[in-house]
Every structure is written in structure tokens, then in C-alpha cells.
């Protein structure tokens, strides 16, 4: 339903026609280009990433593991002035061990 | 509606949509461009969905108006002094006022309804749909807007003739 009364609103129609004419000189921005997302385009990227990961996994240097510090023996020894001292030793194996004190061998 | 079809329709209404966006942004071109960009983004991301209940133009104009209002709310705290206080309108202002400046002297609702009806050739029903108000309210704003704009045009014409 149009409500523009031609005779009554002629001045308004003229006003808006002039406004439209002025606006026609204004350039609208370009309609944005819509990028279409194609999921299949990610497949080669995925394959390449997997190959790089695999290559890195198989070619990386394995860390050198030493057995020097596998076992730590802490002993408490009596020094020259009867003071107690901690003695820390490290070894790769524990074949024999003697208690430095007799306390552990004593039956109570 | 298929995305491709919607895109073609948006392209068809692009020019008109830009002008409406400018009008909703108080004729600020940069803001109008940002608002329109935001509108297209909303549509393509599926945040604004066309349900084919109304004409595409009505729906698009409604989304533009809503987005412009959102932006206005964001910059609400940065009022200019002129916007904050009623500046007395001088005779010279009316004399040299452009079409846009005259339109800006109307209230927001009056401006919107007149632009939708006279500039964009929409009916009052469509204007009510876009403005999200009842047809009765639209008629009221339409009548008052016409009366006020006619008075402003007359004032301007009289000043021009007296020069």
C-alpha cells in the first residue's frame, strides 16, 4: 500500500528526487568477493605435514643414555673428629655392599 | 534459498543497501561501509538467516538497520557536543543546509520512515517491518515527519528567495 499522495507531497517527492540524483554520484564500495572454502584443498597440506612429522620422528637422534648415575649410595661415616659425614657414591651396579657400621648387622 | 542465489540477490541490492546503510549511519560513509561489510559477514556466516517470510529487500534493510544501531550503541560514549546539547538553529544554517542536513533535523523514526517510503519506494507496511514497530506508529511518524520536513523545506525556500 503506497501512501504517497502525488498532489500533496509533490514538494517532498521533489526533495527526495534531488537527493537521489545527488547520491547517484556517490560510488558504493565493491561487493566483497566471497571466498569459497574447499575442504579438499587441505588434503595435500595434511599429507605433507604427516610426511614431515614421520621423517622427523625416524631421523631424530636418539638421546644417549648413560648408566653412570643409575644407583646412588649414601653412607654416613664418622670423621676424624668424631663428626658425622655423608658420603655419596654413584655406581651402575650393586654387586656387593658392606655396611660401614655394624648397627645394621646387630640383632636387637 | 541456495547460497549462490542469495549472493546474486545481495549483489543486485548492493547499491541500494549502501545508500540505506549511509542513511542509517547519519551519512557517515566510512561507518556505512563498515556496517555493510558486517551485514554481509553476518549473512554469509549464517548469523542472519533469510527465511523467505518477507521480501529480500525488506529483510536486508532490516539487518542493515539493526547492525547500524549496534554500532551506534558501541560508540555511544563518544558524543559530540552538538549531539549532547540542543544547538539553536540559526537562519544561515537552514539557508545553506543540504538535503542530508535537513533530513538530519528530523527525529530518527521520522527520518527512517520518510527515507524508506520516499527514497526507497517502500510501503508503510514494509517500513513498519524494517523499523520493527506497529503500522499505527509508523503512520504517526510518517505524518509528523512529512509535516516537519515540509516546514523545513519551506523555510529554506523562503530564505533562498529573500537573498
* Each residue's pLDDT tens digit, B112-123: 999 999 999 999
Q: d(Cα A85, Cα B35) in Å, to the nearest integer?
A: 79
Beta carbons of B40 and A22 less than 8 Å apart: no
Across the interface, of B14, B119, B149, the residue whose CB is closest to A31 is: B14
Nearest chain A residue to B43 by CA: give it: A34
- Taking residue B39's Cβ as centre, other Cβ atoms within 10 Å add up to 23
Question: What domain range is B155 assigned to?
Answer: 88-163
| Residue pair B115/B23 in contact by the 8 Å Cβ criterion | yes
Question: At B5, is the pLDDT very low, low, confident or very high (cuts 50, 70, 90)?
Answer: confident
B72 Cβ contact partners less than 8 Å away, ≥ 6 residues apart: B25
Among A21, A19, A2, CA closest to B121: A2
What value of ipTM does the predicted structure carry?
0.81
Number of domains forming the structure of chain B: 2
| pLDDT score, position B78 | 59
Q: Phi and psi for B132 in degrees, rounded to 5? A: 55, 45
CATH code for position B153: 1.10.10.10
Q: Which of B39, B57, B83 is the last residue of a domain?
A: B83
A11 contacts in chain B (CB < 8 Å): 150, 153-154
Among B20, B39, B14, CA closest to B131: B20
Residue A89's SS3 state is: strand
Q: Which of B28, B59, B83 is the last residue of a domain?
A: B83
Half-sphere exposure in the Cβ direction for A16 (13 Å, CA): 21
Q: Which of B24, B58, B83 is the last residue of a domain?
A: B83
Model confidence, pTM: 0.66
- A89 vs B114: which has the higher pLDDT: B114
* Each residue's pLDDT tens digit, B119-138: 999 999 999 999 999 999 99
Q: Retrieve residue B107's grid coordinates.
A: 527525529
Amino acid at each position: 500500500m503506497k501512501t504517497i499522495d502525488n498532489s500533496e507531497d509533490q514538494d517532498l517527492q521533489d526533495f527526495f528526487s534531488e537527493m537521489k540524483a545527488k547520491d547517484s554520484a556517490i560510488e558504493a564500495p565493491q561487493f566483497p568477493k566471497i571466498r569459497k572454502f574447499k575442504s579438499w584443498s587441505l588434503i595435500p597440506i595434511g599429507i605433507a605435514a604427516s610426511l614431515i612429522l614421520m621423517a622427523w620422528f625416524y631421523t631424530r637422534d636418539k638421546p644417549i643414555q648413560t648408566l653412570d648415575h643409575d644407583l646412588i649410595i649414601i653412607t654416613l661415616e664418622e670423621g676424624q673428629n668424631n663428626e658425622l659425614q655423608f658420603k655419596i657414591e654413584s655406581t651402575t651396579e650393586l654387586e656387593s655392599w658392606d655396611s660401614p657400621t655394624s648397627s645394621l648387622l646387630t640383632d636387637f | 534459498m541456495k547460497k549462490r542465489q542469495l549472493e546474486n540477490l545481495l549483489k543486485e541490492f548492493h547499491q541500494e543497501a549502501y545508500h540505506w546503510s549511509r542513511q542509517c549511519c547519519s551519512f557517515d560513509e566510512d561507518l556505512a561501509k563498515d556496517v555493510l561489510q558486517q551485514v554481509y559477514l553476518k549473512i554469509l556466516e549464517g548469523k542472519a538467516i533469510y527465511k523467505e517470510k518477507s521480501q529480500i529487500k525488506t529483510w536486508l534493510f532490516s539487518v542493515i538497520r539493526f547492525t547500524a544501531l549496534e554500532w551506534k550503541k558501541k560508540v555511544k560514549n563518544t558524543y559530540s557536543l552538538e549531539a549532547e546539547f540542543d544547538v539553536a538553529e540559526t537562519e544561515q544554517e537552514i539557508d545553506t543546509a543540504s538535503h542530508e542536513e535537513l533530513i538530519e533535523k528530523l527525529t530518527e523514526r521520522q527520518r527512517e520512515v520518510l527515507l524508506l517510503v520516499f527514497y526507497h519506494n517502500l510501503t508503510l507496511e514494509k517500513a513498519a517491518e524494517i523499523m520493527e514497530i506497529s503500522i499505527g506508529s509508523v503512520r504517526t511518524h510518517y505524518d509528523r515527519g512529512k509535516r516537519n520536513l515540509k516546514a523545513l523545506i519551506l523555510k529554506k525556500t523562503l530564505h533562498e528567495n529573500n537573498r
